[in-house]
């Protein structure tokens, strides 16, 4: 592997002799399963956010080359379909050789450069990106939810921070990384652990609001939250280049909305009717300049990923374009907001004739009753909800699914677990995704019947697919979804 990296580095270095001082070249090779495209974040003004991205198509051998204008030391993350491979801390004018091995979990991402020790150390840190690890500083904060002594929580998290700092300091003292590299890496780790403290406080707040037992009392978690954001303020100009910028600012704004700012807390009408607008108004009150532009854009992008097709997001996007007519972030938001615009246009079209809402569905209280009402020989069931993003991802494969079901004379039944207040959204999404088959939005009794069928005492995960006979007898309780159509075909034949 070292020989391969050396060859790559030699080739790239010679190609880069005449490159501009701020032009960074990243050349590499993907081993194992080669994706159709390799996505990477664009360091716009030093910012790293997974939604502001570009992509390169590797050749048949997995080779690729990227040239980036890098004005200041920045994070560049490499991923595919939100599955992160790793991160390069890119400096202006430096050439990097990158090896990605999609089959080797222990050595998935390896960098060769003049600061490669620092690169590879950073990538050994499990929580170095929201796309890696187990969910960022929220999952790290969850480790402390049973601790009842705030000072102990702070000390433990501080020890972890100091351990990370010491490892990078050792490389800096040995002149193996630059001052700029060190400063960005340390700023990033500081705000990660500050976010962890904020997350402990936020989760305790939520538990208290819903009447769940908390390990910290109200004064303790509010003080912990306040100390965290005051110790590591959002005014730090280097924060905007941290991987955790968006998540940390979100936690900061939640603190203002939920705890500190009584004016915002009392403005409940706007919050209830237009929650996203309420949040952006809070951001406009406390952020400014590039911070606000970046956060505003990232928020619209992230919220659009839920695909709840809210008109409120369209309005926020239009206001953003008025506020920032020349923003570099607009094209990235457009790619996610267009489906929402299309969704509302589609509602004016006639309903697909193959979509059927089961009559008297509100009186159907069990799966057996639902299945018997269809007069079918065999039924493929999809349990979903309008708020479930993975459910909607599966819908992309419905064309193949419907062809398969028709060839085997199998009936399609969609069961929504949405509440009554989502009735219109439920119908709108059925129309938008053209979900051909029979539809029931289950009542509470039916929902409990499904929970009992699933056999899960504490959780109910969707999407959930299963197969029944014509009387509602279970043939396969955990069938594959449309995205795994070959496996599903075998299950349907059993």
- What are the backbone dihedrals phi and psi of residue 133, each rounded to the nearest 5 degrees, phi first? 70, -140
Closest CA to 28 of 14, 42, 43, 8: 8
- CATH 2.60.40.10 residue window(s) in the chain: 2-124
Among residues 418, 404, 370, 430, which one has the least CA distance to residue 491?
404
**Chain region(s) in the chain for CATH 3.40.30.10:** 355-493
Asked if residues 411 and 380 have their Cβ atoms less than 8 Å apart, the reply is: yes
Place of tokens 């956010």: 49
In the numeric block, the tokens 């769940």 are attached to 212
Q: For residue 13, what pLDDT is reported?
A: 47
Do the strands 464-469 and 378-384 form a parallel or antiparallel pair, or are they unpaired?
A: antiparallel
pLDDT (0 to 100) of residue 7: 46
Rounded to an integer, what distance in angstroms lies between the CA atom of residue 101 and that of residue 32?
6
Low-confidence ranges of the chain (pLDDT < 70): 1-21, 126, 132-135, 267-271, 456-459
Helix/strand number for the chain, H first, E second: 19, 14
Q: What CATH number labels 2-124?
A: 2.60.40.10
Residue-level pLDDT at 268: 62
Q: Are strands 411-416 and 95-101 parallel, antiparallel or unpaired?
A: unpaired
Residues with Cβ < 8 Å from 263, sequence gap 6 or more? none
What is the separation of C-alpha 463 from the centre of its chain, rounded to a whole number of angstroms? Answer: 17
Taking only the tens place, the pLDDT of each residue in 359-402 is: 999 999 999 999 999 999 999 999 999 988 889 989 999 999 99
| CB burial of residue 128 (10 Å; 0-12, 13-18, 19+) | buried
Orientation angle between helical segments 398-407 and 485-493, nearest 10 degrees: 20
Determine the pLDDT at residue 12: 45
Q: Which of 190, 100, 203 is nearest to 145 (CA)?
A: 203
- d(CA 347, CA 58) in angstroms, rounded, equals 39
Residue 75 sits at φ, ψ, to 5 deg, of -85, 140
CA–CA separation, 386 vs 427, rounded Å? 9
Rounded Cα–Cα distance for residues 479 and 467 (Å)? 7
CB atoms within 10 A of CB 457: 7
How high is the pLDDT of residue 22?
A: 74
Q: How many CB atoms lie within 10 A of CB 401?
A: 24
Q: Which CATH superfamily is domain 355-493 in?
A: Glutaredoxin (3.40.30.10)
State the first-to-last Cα distance of the chain, in angstroms, to the nearest integer. Answer: 46
Tokens of 129: 């990106």
Residue pair 446/373 in contact (Cβ under 8 Å)? The answer is no
**Which whole-number Å values give the CA distances from 100 to 12, 58, 197, 456, in the listed order?**
16, 12, 33, 39
């Amino acid at each position: 592997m070292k020989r391969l990296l050396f060859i790559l580095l030699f080739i790239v270095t010679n190609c880069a002799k005449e490159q501009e001082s701020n032009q960074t070249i990243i050349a590499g090779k993907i081993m194992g399963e080669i994706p159709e495209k390799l996505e990477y974040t664009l360091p716009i003004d030093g910012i790293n956010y997974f939604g502001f991205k570009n992509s390169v198509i590797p050749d048949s051998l997995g080779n690729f080359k990227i040239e980036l204008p890098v004005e200041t030391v920045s994070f560049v993350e490499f991923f595919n379909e939100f599955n992160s491979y790793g991160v390069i801390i890119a400096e202006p004018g430096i050439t990097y050789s990158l090896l990605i091995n999609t089959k080797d979990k222990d050595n998935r991402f390896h960098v060769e450069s003049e600061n490669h020790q620092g690169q590879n150390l950073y990538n050994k840190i499990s929580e170095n990106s929201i796309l890696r690890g187990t969910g960022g500083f929220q999952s790290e904060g969850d480790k402390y939810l049973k601790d009842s002594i705030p000072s102990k929580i702070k000390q433990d998290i501080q020890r972890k921070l100091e351990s990370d700092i010491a490892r990078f300091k050792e490389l800096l003292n040995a002149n193996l990384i630059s001052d700029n590299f060190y400063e960005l890496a340390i700023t990033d780790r500081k705000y990660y652990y500050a976010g962890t403290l904020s997350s402990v406080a936020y989760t305790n707040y939520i538990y208290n609001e819903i009447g769940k037992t908390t390990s910290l009392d109200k004064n303790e978690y509010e003080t912990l939250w306040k100390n965290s954001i005051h110790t590591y303020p959002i005014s730090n100009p280097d924060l905007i280049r941290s991987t955790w910028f968006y998540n940390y600012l979100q936690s900061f704004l939640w603190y203002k909305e939920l705890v500190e700012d009584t004016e915002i807390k009392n403005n409940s009408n706007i919050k209830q009717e237009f929650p996203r607008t309420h949040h952006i108004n809070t951001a406009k009150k406390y952020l400014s300049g590039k911070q606000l532009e970046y956060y505003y854009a990232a928020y619209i992008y992230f919220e659009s990923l839920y695909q709840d097709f809210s008109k409120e997001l369209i309005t926020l996007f239009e206001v953003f374009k008025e506020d920032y007519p020349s923003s570099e972030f607009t094209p990235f938001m457009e790619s996610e907001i267009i489906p929402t615009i299309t969704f509302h246009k589609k509602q004016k079209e006639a309903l697909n004739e193959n979509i059927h809402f089961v009559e008297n569905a509100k009186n159907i209280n069990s799966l057996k009753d639902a299945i018997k009402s269809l007069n079918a020989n065999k039924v493929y069931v999809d349990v979903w909800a309008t708020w479930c993003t993975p459910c909607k991802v599966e819908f992309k494969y419905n064309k193949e699914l419907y062809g398969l079901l028709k060839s085997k004379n199998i009936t399609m039944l969609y069961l929504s677990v949405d509440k009554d207040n989502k009735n219109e959204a439920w119908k709108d999404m059925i129309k938008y995704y053209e979900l051909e088959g029979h539809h029931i939005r289950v009542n509470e009794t039916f929902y409990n019947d499904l929970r009992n069928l699933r056999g899960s005492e504490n959780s109910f995960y969707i999407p959930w697919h299963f197969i029944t006979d014509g009387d509602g007898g279970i043939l396969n309780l955990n069938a594959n979804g449309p995205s795994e159509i070959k496996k599903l075909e075998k299950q349907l034949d059993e």
